[in-house]
Amino acid sequence: MTLLSYLREDLVRLMKRREKVGLRAVRDAISAIQNAETTYVTVPETSGMTGNGFVAGAVPFGHAERNVHDLTDTQMMELARAEVFRRLDEAARYRALGDIDRALMLKAEALSLADRLDTYAG
């Protein structure tokens, strides 16, 4: 079981229990992993036509506008840990600005995600 599939299963449990704090953190971690797995075609390919061989936006049949490649578990873990650290950094910034409630919410989300990552790794 990969980290992504583990988080997706955990997402279902969190939705059933209506745990908003953990739900936000897990959704963001899943999004970060899926975004890293996906690359988009930025240069249209020629379709082998005669003449100049270029039609604006033409992509040969059977090719998609995006490519998905699988990440290793280590890469997924690094991305998820980065989400934890991002939340902790934002929490410190909000605390410095005096928005204690938002800072506490971000810290709770970071701890929730960190606990899930530790459970998966352990």
- Domain of residue 12, residue span: 3-38+71-121
Confidence at residue 74, expressed as pLDDT on a 0 to 100 scale:
92
Confidence at residue 48, expressed as pLDDT on a 0 to 100 scale:
52
Q: Has residue 111 been placed in a domain? A: yes
Q: What pLDDT digit, counting tens, does each position of 68-105 carry?
A: 778 899 999 999 999 999 999 999 999 999 999 999 99
Whole-angstrom Cα distance, residue 109 to residue 26? 9
Whole-angstrom Cα distance, residue 122 to residue 72? 17
The residues, ordered by sequence, that sit 6+ positions from 77 with a Cβ below 8 Å of its Cβ are 3, 117, 121
Q: What pLDDT digit, counting tens, does each position of 32-63 carry?
A: 999 888 776 665 555 555 544 455 555 554 45
Confidence at residue 41, expressed as pLDDT on a 0 to 100 scale:
62
Whole-angstrom Cα distance, residue 91 to residue 105? 8
Name residue, tokens 């090719």: 63
Rg (CA), the chain: 20
Q: Has residue 57 been placed in a domain? A: no
Instruction: Assign residue 99 the CATH number of its domain.
Output: 1.10.1510
| pLDDT value at 121 more than 70 | yes
Q: Has residue 58 been placed in a domain? A: no
At residue 122 the predicted structure's pLDDT band, cuts being 50, 70 and 90, is: confident
- Number of folded domains that form the chain: 1
Q: Has residue 110 been placed in a domain? A: yes
Confidence at residue 97, expressed as pLDDT on a 0 to 100 scale:
96
Q: Has residue 91 been placed in a domain? A: yes
Q: Has residue 43 been placed in a domain? A: no
Confidence at residue 76, expressed as pLDDT on a 0 to 100 scale:
93
91-120 as b/e: b if 16+ CB within 10 A = beebeeeeeeeebebbbbbbbbbbebbeeb
